[in-house]
Structure 1
């Protein structure tokens, strides 16, 4: 997986956290830098941790499903993408202005569950996991911190668009992985050789 593909995937994965951060930013009356830092650490940390866990699980089963792993990666990414698109119309009502552990932990886990499945696909694709999870964590940290600020300034205008775009990106990445493993790209390029 190239750096460019990893960046696109990281942005796509972080859109859930970005959308929730925008909603959290809506709820904050007096925004402080610590709010942005807390959101970035929770969301970025869990977005890095979950693919690592998924990767470790995927490595255990890699030899058993190696011949159809590209189909699993495709299905997981499409399902996650469709879920994000469906959720793009929602802004959870239960969000409040608290940044306590009790409030942030469930949000961080909920927004990073999809990253767990992506971690499984990383194992099948033999992705270098440490740079990948670091990249995803840093990207999510930045976008979550920005989401708090954007939500505080602009409101919910960008929340649904972010999740919609994130969902589409994940679906397109799944299609790309499938077409690559089926040899469609090689076949297409051979037509022009």
Structure 2
């Protein structure tokens, strides 16, 4: 794995972690103990490993069947996912974060990891290394979740929207790179 591929995967991991970061900012406004914040981050990290892993396995299977069209499909999927992240910001009603306990924690972790499944599907079609990619996605999302939760206690949610726009823009850029690069 070369430096450019690793850097690209890291940037993509950061983009995918923006949802967890921004929701964590809002969730951090709740009274959460450090032990709970630690567990929330680990749970989100686990989902950011499992979801793209399954996506990459499916993507590899699809790419073996479709060959040339797989790269175009991967690019369109990434671009569409990035646009979806950006357009969600303009919804009239933004939901309050749920309590990060029990089922609420798993729903939170799943909801911020769904994007990583789609990206995993795209990356599986392009043939990246699964272990390195999923580890990078999991580690980055864990750190970003912890950071969002801790900053949420102090920042009162001022950065949330900007981080989602940044994450969506990065995914759009990678989608365009897959399509035209």
**TM-score normalised to structure 1 length:** 0.86
How far did 1:95 drift?
1.9
State whether structure 2 residue 104 is matched by structure 1 residue 95. Answer: no
State whether structure 2 residue 120 is matched by structure 1 residue 107. Answer: no
State whether structure 2 residue 60 is matched by structure 1 residue 70. Answer: no
d(CA) in 1 for partners of 2:39, 2:158: 22
How far did 1:23 drift?
1.1
Deviations 1:125-177 (A, max 9, x none): 11000010000100000000000011110112110001000000000011112
Query: Do the aligned partners of 1:21 and 1:39 also contact (CA within 8 Å) in 2?
Result: no
Aligned length: 177
Dislocated runs of 4+, deviation >4 Å: 89-92
1:11 maps to 14
2:5 maps to 2
State whether structure 2 residue 173 is matched by structure 1 residue 172. Answer: yes
Question: Please, which of 18, 23, 32 is the counterpart of residue 20 of structure 1?
Answer: 23
Structure 2: 5+ residue stretches without partners: none
How far did 1:4 drift?
0.7
d(CA) in 2 for partners of 1:79, 1:179: 15
Equivalences for residues 79-158 of structure 1 within 5 A: 79-88=80-89, 92-96=94-98, 98-158=99-159
What root-mean-square deviation, in Å, do the aligned CA atoms of Structure 1 and Structure 2 show?
1.6
What SS class does the counterpart of residue 2 from structure 1 fall into?
A: helix
Higher Rg of the two aligned structures = 1
Query: Do the aligned partners of 2:24 and 2:145 also contact (CA within 8 Å) in 1?
Result: yes
Structure 1: 5+ residue stretches without partners: 181-193
Query: Do the aligned partners of 2:100 and 2:108 also contact (CA within 8 Å) in 1?
Result: no
